[in-house]
Structure 1
Amino acid sequence: MMTETTPQVHEEILAYYSRGEEDARLREGGASAGRLEFWRTQDVLRRLLPPTPARVLDVGGGSGIHAAWLAEDGYEVDLVDPVPLHVEQASRLPGVTARLGDARDLAAADAAYDVVLLLGPLYHLHERADRVRALAEARRVAGPGGPVVAATINRFAQLHDLLRKERYFEAVHRERTDATLRDGRHRFYEGGLFTRAYFARPDEVVTEFGEAGLAVDGQYGVEGAAWLMGGVEDWLDDPERREAVLAASRHVESEPSLLGVSGHLLTVGGRRR
């Protein structure tokens, strides 16, 4: 049984997520194309995960945006997150248990889960050693053959997003974006558009999986190029067009030359044999 741990999280990250806006971003979309990210993540996971019932550890699971549908599908879901508001929100979900915790120091026993998801923690770990440590912890608590699925923000996501929104023409945003392109580190700025984060290259994630003792089985661009198209949010309101967008995204989701175009990337792997 998991026990509560004291997560080590930067105060600016805690403040950002304590605003409670992440759940609405993924459910309601808008300028962020969050609904496309949500539906595509769900689409990919449903093809990667073992059949129900299976035990899922949702590390950094936020308010339970994915834990909710996983539980509805029949999975046993435990959620760990460093933000108290998220834990409070997720604990209200049927079939989901939620605890405070740190991805780098999980309270779970070895091989306790059939699936381990890290759909957020790697976003906010600037240091490579911390990212590898989080992946190694996921490997430790995943059972034999159990997949570890990690989400990352792609290195060029901010550049593409600000061009799409015409914010890259503003000198202050261009300077900050160009700095992030050099080393992947998004710094926190008062009044900025996002909090402290790390934006990774797809091949970098593969290397870090290997350092954590995980063999990569596949990588999936979540939004593909669709998120850069101005009408995508309107398309998603039409069920037929939404299915067409999802189908189109599947065609290119693992095309190596297009992985970095997507805003987010899912990498799946398992214990090295």
Structure 2
Amino acid sequence: MEEITAFYDLDLEHDRLSRGLGLLEFARTLDVLGRLLPEPPATVLDIGGGTGAYARELLRLGHRVHFLDLIPGHVERVRADPALAALASVTLGDARALPYATASADAALVMGPLYHLMAAEDRAKALAEAARVVRPGGLVAVTAIPRAAAICGDFKHGLDEEDYSRAIRERAYTSGLYLNPEGRPGFFTTAYFHHPADLEEELGAAGLRDVTLYALEGPASKLLADPALELSDPLRRDGLLTALRLVERDPALLGMSAHLLGVGWR
């Protein structure tokens, strides 16, 4: 975990969802969650919440939000942010051992930890914990990165470091293991990339029912030259989001999205 912590200590996460393709990931995640979360006020656990982007929106909607993250710098940012002062709690903690009581929340969002847990047993622990802390009928929602994302990302952004990139993307696709052995800038840190069917199986193994996968960015992650431009114009934004809703559950397109949202109910 040391290289993962070092990567996030670079403080790259605080504005990731406010630029580039992160804008579309953020908009689409809120779009899908807006259809699935209970009406406010609900108790929502933001597990692996980064620097509070989703927590801020959940508070704005009127939910009672508990925040947890493994990275000390993220927790410090959240505690210092006046816009997050209404959080019910802010905890430095691990998704595999949640400090919340059983059946104490209406929803648990695991928006990142799953792709930094390399071992299957660790992912199973995190999912079991998320399922434990929501009430019967409660929602568990997790984000994952599909295996093909390493291939699609390389070919969209160029092949200037092809000798280095090739082994990374081929390993990620064939095994799920994304490794940046030299820690080169511009590459991700140690991560696990899912095949969509494996994500669905892991959610089901945690005892969740009605498991559904959503492609967040879908084909737009490969086709949009300027996500900010598309999302800043109301008409173009509506057209883009409407199109992505149309294909969001198409099994043939799940693997080409930059991120998946997997959901299930306890």
Q: TM-score range by the shorter chain?
A: over 0.9
**Of 19-28 and 153-162, the range deviating more from structure 2:** 19-28
Give how far 1:231 is off: 2.4
> 1:7 is matched with which residue?
none
Matched, 1:52 2:35: no
Please say which of residues 59-68 and 190-199 is displaced more in the overlay: 190-199
**Superposed CA offset, 1:10-55 (max 9, x none):** 11111111111112111122xxx11000100111111110000000
Q: 1:221 to 1:168 in 2, by over 3 A?
A: farther
Q: TM-score, normalised by structure 1?
A: 0.91
Query: 1:25 matched to which residue of 2?
Result: 16
Task: Indicate if the aligned counterparts of 1:164 and 1:228 stay in contact, CA closer than 8 A.
Answer: yes
What CA distance in whole angstroms lies between the structure 1 residues aligned with 2:188 and 2:119?
18
Alpha-carbon separation, structure 2, partners of 1:121 and 1:209: 14
**1:206 paired residue number:** 200
Q: Secondary structure at the match of 1:158?
A: helix
Which residue is 1:135 aligned to?
Answer: 127
1:230 offset after TM fit, Å? 4.0
Aligned to 2:71: 83
Q: Residue 164 of structure 1 aligns to a residue in which SS?
A: helix
Alpha-carbon shift at residue 188 of structure 1 (Å): 3.3
Cα distance in structure 2, aligned partners of 1:170 and 1:188: 13
Written as runs of structure 1 = structure 2, the 5 A alignment for 1:86-97 is: 86-91=74-79, 92=81, 93-96=84-87, 97=89
SS of equivalent residue, structure 1 residue 136: helix
Letter in 2 for 1:127: A
**Length, aligned pairs only:** 259
Give the AA of the match of 1:223.
E
CA distance in 2 between partners of 1:226 and 1:198 (Å): 22
**What's the C-alpha RMSD, in Å, of the aligned pairs?**
1.3
Q: What amino acid sits opposite 2:16 in the alignment?
A: R
- Contact 1:159–1:168 (Cα < 8 Å) also in 2: no
Rounded Cα–Cα distance in structure 2 between residues aligned with 1:226 and 1:232: 10
Percentage identity across aligned positions? 43
How much does 1:169 deviate? 6.9
Q: Unaligned 5+ residue runs, structure 2?
A: none
Contact 1:68 1:94 in 2 (8 A): no
My pick for the range that moved more, 66-75 or 162-171, is 162-171
The one-letter code sitting in structure 2 at the alignment partner of 1:224 is G
Counterpart of 1:253 in structure 2 is 248
Unaligned runs of 5+ in 1: 1-9
Distance change (3 Å), C-alpha of 1:185 and 1:196: same
Q: TM-score, normalised by structure 2?
A: 0.94
Q: Give the Cα separation in 2 of the matches to 1:269 and 1:141.
A: 14
Mapping of residues 225-240 of structure 1, within 5 Å: 225-233=219-227, 234-240=229-235
Report the alpha carbon displacement of residue 168 of structure 1 after superposing the two structures with TM.
Answer: 7.3
Alpha carbons 1:132, 1:208 under 8 Å: kept: yes
Residues 38-87 of structure 1: CA distance to partner in whole angstroms, max 9, x if unpaired? Answer: 10011111111000000000100110110000000000000110001111
Residue in 2 aligned with 1:262?
Answer: 257
